[in-house]
Structure 1
Amino acid sequence: MNSMNFDPIAPLYAQAKHKISILGMACWLYLVIQLCVSAAAGGLFGAAAASLMNGMGYSMLSVLNIAVLLIVTPVSGGLSVWFVADNLKLTYKDQFRTGFRKLDIVDGLGVLLLFSLICSLVFSMINLFLPQGQIAQPDFGYSSNLFSNFLLFVTIVLVGPFFEELFFRATLLRSLTRYGKEFALIFSSLCFGMMHLNFAQGIPAFFMGIVLGWSYVRSGSLIVPIAIHMLNNAISFLGMSVYGTIIASVLIVGLAIYGLVYIVRHASMLRNEIRDAQSDPHFYALALSSPWIIAFIAVYVIASLIGVFVL
């Protein structure tokens, strides 16, 4: 009788529930390390700048803040990757194989910038109905200090994309592909978006995660999403400078048009890929019932609302 009542799917759901719990804890580890280190360093450097009270002090404060971000990014990302790899026995030796088409990077960047441009236009329209246009991109600290800008470039163009792709794509997404590519893409992209703790970055980051994850799954190489992510951030960094704004705008519009053409030309193929990637709805239910994920969603929503209506 016991063998007749055995559900062969039950062990798969139990395994997925365990993995989602581990990944949820890893997301919290990532977030808590970033918040704690940033808060501690911010208080320390703020006190130092207040004691100096001169132009050099504030310039040094900018350098120190970016230096903290440069340090906390690999620490939070690296420890989170280690935590998941240790618990789920993941290895990463095969993640950097070079068997991919170089055009995959261009295709992915074009589609990514298309979605980014659409998100920017939508937020611009929403800001028309909000007091003082409160949904705005955060200030990353670009200044006239060359050393500060160099550290900022290394942080957001090189270090950040590498560790974010290592965690969100090569760890989160890869751990869940067994339960359906669609579920793995959406789960990892939601975590990637919510990690930003604000609507202005979180919503575009979700779509960014979808494109980067899609590029990763299709190519089978982590090099592809890392390259796309780095190029995207490099264009954003270029747009922070007065002289680079025009160049960055031309690149964004040109590549976005390329992305639109790519989607139109490959619409049939993309529809087939979406159909083949469909996942069992039970896995979404497992994710949304995880205490770690519920708490993560709550923190993201509260932090984002505070950013819009309070700050």
Structure 2
Amino acid sequence: MVIEDYLALSSVLSFNEVSKMIILIIFASIVLTLYGILLTYLTSAEHINDTNKGYQNNSIFIIVSFMFVAALFEELLFRGIIQNVLFLTLEHQWLAIILTAFLFIAFHIQYYRKPWMLLNITVPSLVLGWSYFYTDNLLVPLFIHFVNNVGITILFKFNVIKLKS
């Protein structure tokens, strides 16, 4: 019964401090996008997963749609379910965040052949987990995740950033 109460919609969608949530979404999205840009400049193309190289070739509508569905699925699963259950079990926020980040990394098996890509999802996963606990609203990490993914993909699409040879 405790799990059902904790995972109730009202427990994952608190709207107590909307301005705090908006500021966090904007700030975290900018920082994570800059982090992605920095990693792009530090990483040669051979260390980037092949599927990530092709997203930018799609239309804006396809990019936005795909990135939204991916962020929605991943945030519902990892922050909405896994992180909450781990927190209820372990009763320690950061341990739940870190374990969820490891599971998030494990879920991205396509990156195992390109380990540098794992770094590209580790830091954002920790930020997403923290932002969820900080705001008590699952929409916050969902929007941060979505804006970060779309932002980087659009920057690649319009050649604002390019893969290093």
TM-score (norm 2): 0.75
Residues 169-184 of structure 1 aligned to structure 2 (within 5 Å): 169-178=79-88, 179=90, 180-184=92-96
Unaligned runs of 5+ in 2: none
Instruction: Calculate percent identity across the aligned residue pairs.
Output: 21
CA distance 1:121–1:186, change in 2 (3 Å): farther
Displacement after TM superposition at 1:211 (Å)? 0.5
1:140 aligned residue: 54
Picking from 98, 106, 109, the partner of 1:194 is: 106
1:231 aligned residue: 147
Displacement after TM superposition at 1:195 (Å)? 1.5
Residues in 2 aligned to 1:235 and 1:207: alpha-carbon distance in whole angstroms: 16
Deviation digits for residues 198-234 of structure 1 (CA, Å, limit 9, x no counterpart): 1243221111100111111111111111111111112
| Residue identity opposite 1:177 in structure 2 | F
Equivalent position SS for 1:97: coil
1:205 aligned residue: 121
Deviation digits for residues 154-205 of structure 1 (CA, Å, limit 9, x no counterpart): 012x111111111111111111224211211111111112222212432211
Residues in 2 aligned to 1:141 and 1:218: alpha-carbon distance in whole angstroms: 31
| Residue identity opposite 1:98 in structure 2 | F
Residues in 1 aligned to 2:33 and 2:155: alpha-carbon distance in whole angstroms: 13
Deviation digits for residues 37-69 of structure 1 (CA, Å, limit 9, x no counterpart): xxxxxxxxxxxxxxxxxxxxxxxxxxxxxxxxx
Displacement after TM superposition at 1:112 (Å)? 2.1
Runs of 4+ residues deviating >4 angstroms: none
Larger Rg: 1
CA RMSD across the alignment? 2.4
CA distance 1:183–1:153, change in 2 (3 Å): same
Picking from 8, 11, 14, the partner of 1:97 is: 14
Residues in 1 aligned to 2:14 and 2:54: alpha-carbon distance in whole angstroms: 33
2:69 aligned residue: 159
Residues in 2 aligned to 1:112 and 1:141: alpha-carbon distance in whole angstroms: 18
Number of aligned residue pairs: give it: 146
| Residue identity opposite 1:175 in structure 2 | V
Picking from 165, 168, 174, the partner of 2:78 is: 168
| Residue identity opposite 1:108 in structure 2 | A
Higher RCO by CA contacts (8 Å cutoff, separation 6 or greater): 2
**Contact 2:25 / 2:144 at 8 angstroms: preserved in 1?**
yes
Unaligned runs of 5+ in 1: 1-87, 128-132, 250-311
Residues 41-80 of structure 1 aligned to structure 2 (within 5 Å): none
Residue 150 in 1 paired to residue 61 in 2? Answer: yes
CA distance 1:119–1:237, change in 2 (3 Å): closer
Displacement after TM superposition at 1:114 (Å)? 4.3
